[in-house]
Amino acid sequence: MLLVIDVGNTNIVYGLFEGAELEHQFRVESGRGRTADEYAVVLRQLCEMHGVQPSQVDAAIIASVVPSLTDPMSELVKRAFGKEPKIVGPGIRTGMAILYENPREVGADRIVNAVAAYEQAKGAVIVVDFGTATTFDCVTPKGEYLGGVIAPGIQISADALFARAAKLPKVEIAQPPKVVGKNTVHSMQSGIVFGYVGLVDGVVERLLAELGHGCAVIATGGLSSLIAPLSKTIQSVDPNLTLTGLRLLHERNLV
């Protein structure tokens, strides 16, 4: 089995592939104070709960946007499974030209998403990833990573509102019954959710106008299932896009 690890600012997602099939997926909090041993214990317990033995894992690949967690994740793989993981970064073969001014500035997750989305779309594509930040990544018809947009994520935008407005309560991020809220909770939910839908559609429409050609628009990430159905521009949702991209990069780097 292939172990793929997507290290984000809020969560770490582990995936286990058997061939092209994602057999298991585990999500844990990105606790920066944990050691490699602690991560190894947690992951091995999760694997055992699902009947996966350490000996079944024969390779691993990691994409991390949290530098302080990259080494612990690498050590986790070595200690728990006895394997040397691949790390997405400079030197790894992506099969995709990076047209960013400084390719080293592009987050590993953005490249991984772009690779998976282009493989899926077979042409120009925009990936909207709803993570701690919401990113919009553009891939050309030739399969080149062009660049994109980084916006504050919906959760941190909401958290800022809760923290800075003393009389407003903390509310669940959920679609309200109507746009016009008749109470404080629904009014806040309307502003957070529909306001964010407006942000997403506005950015995608501007990207499409600037690119000058049609693009598939694929969403992924935690709140994609909430925003995508309300969006005019998002065409499909793939919650496992990053994990699939890691599998593809592993395959492209087999010796």
Burial string for 203-232 (b: 16+ CB within 10 Å, else e) reads bbeebbeeeeeebbbbbbbbbbebbbeebe
Name the packing angle between helices 154-164 and 184-211 (round to 10°). 140
Residue 255: its pLDDT value, please? 65
Question: Is residue 127, in this structure, part of any structural domain at all?
Answer: yes
Residue 230: its pLDDT value, please? 97
Number of domains in the chain: 2
CATH assignment at residue 72: 3.30.420.40
* 3-class state of residue 46 by DSSP: helix
Q: Which helix (H) or strand (E) holds 71?
A: helix 67-81
pLDDT in tens, 9-62: 889 999 999 999 999 999 998 877 788 888 888 899 999 999 999 899 999 999
Name the residue with higher pLDDT: 233 or 255: 233
- Find all residues with CB under 8 Å of 244, minimum gap 6, and list them: 22, 116, 119, 120, 238
Mean pLDDT of 65-79: 92
Its domain, for residue 59, covers 2-87
Percent share of the chain, pLDDT over 90: 88
Domain identity same for 82 and 113: no
Distance, in Å, from the CA atom of 227 to the CA atom of 62, rounded to the nearest integer, reads: 28
Residue 32: its pLDDT value, please? 73
What pTM does this model have? 0.92
Domain identity same for 241 and 169: yes
Domain identity same for 73 and 166: no
Cβ-contact 212, 79 below 8 angstroms: no
Domain identity same for 155 and 78: no
Question: Is residue 95, in this structure, part of any structural domain at all?
Answer: no
Question: Is residue 251, in this structure, part of any structural domain at all?
Answer: no
Question: Is residue 92, in this structure, part of any structural domain at all?
Answer: no
Domain identity same for 111 and 61: no
Domain identity same for 194 and 162: yes
Domain identity same for 164 and 48: no
pLDDT in tens, 189-248: 999 999 999 999 999 999 999 999 999 999 999 899 999 999 999 999 999 999 999 999
Active site residues: 109
What distances in angstroms separate CA 45 from CA 49, 51, 52, 72, 80, one per listed residue? 6, 10, 9, 17, 10
Question: Is residue 74, in this structure, part of any structural domain at all?
Answer: yes
Question: Is residue 199, in this structure, part of any structural domain at all?
Answer: yes
Domain identity same for 180 and 142: yes
Residue 237: its pLDDT value, please? 97
Cβ-contact 77, 23 below 8 angstroms: no
Q: Roughly how many angstroms between the first and final C-alpha of the chain, as a whole number?
A: 17
Mean pLDDT of 61-90: 93
